Amino acid sequence: MEDKVVLKKMGRRKKLRERIRENPKWQKASTVILPLIFGIILVGLWQGQVLHRLFHTDTFTLPLLDKIGSIMADNKEKLLENTFSTLQVSLMGLVIGSILGYLMALLASFFPKFGQGGLAVIGAFASIPVVAMAPVFNNWTKDISRDASFRSMISKTIVVMLICAADMGLNAYKGLTNLKPYALDLMAIYASSRKKIFFKLRLPNSIPYVFSALKVSVPASIMTAIVSEYFAEYITGVGRQIRENIVLAQYSTAWAYIATACLIGIFAYAILMILQSIFLKRYH
**Sites of contact with other proteins (CB under 8 A):** 180-183, 185-192, 196, 200-201, 204-205, 207, 282-284
CA distances for 147 relative to 138, 144, 154, 189, angstroms: 13, 9, 11, 59
- The nearer residue to other proteins, 200 or 215, going by C-beta atoms, is 200
> Could you tell me the smallest distance in angstroms from the CB atom of residue 214 to other proteins?
18
CA dihedral 120, 123, 128, 130 (to 10 degrees): 160
> Could you tell me the smallest distance in angstroms from the CB atom of residue 27 to other proteins?
19
Report d(CA 88, CA 180) in Å as an integer.
Answer: 39
100 touches 85 (CB < 8 A): no
Report d(CA 171, CA 174) in Å as an integer.
Answer: 5
- The nearer residue to other proteins, 62 or 186, going by C-beta atoms, is 186
- The nearer residue to other proteins, 114 or 283, going by C-beta atoms, is 283
> Could you tell me the smallest distance in angstroms from the CB atom of residue 135 to other proteins?
44
- The nearer residue to other proteins, 208 or 219, going by C-beta atoms, is 208
> Could you tell me the smallest distance in angstroms from the CB atom of residue 281 to other proteins?
10
- The nearer residue to other proteins, 221 or 276, going by C-beta atoms, is 276
> Could you tell me the smallest distance in angstroms from the CB atom of residue 194 to other proteins?
12
Nearest residue to 235 (alpha-carbon basis) of 220, 245, 250: 245
- The nearer residue to other proteins, 3 or 185, going by C-beta atoms, is 185
> Could you tell me the smallest distance in angstroms from the CB atom of residue 212 to other proteins?
15
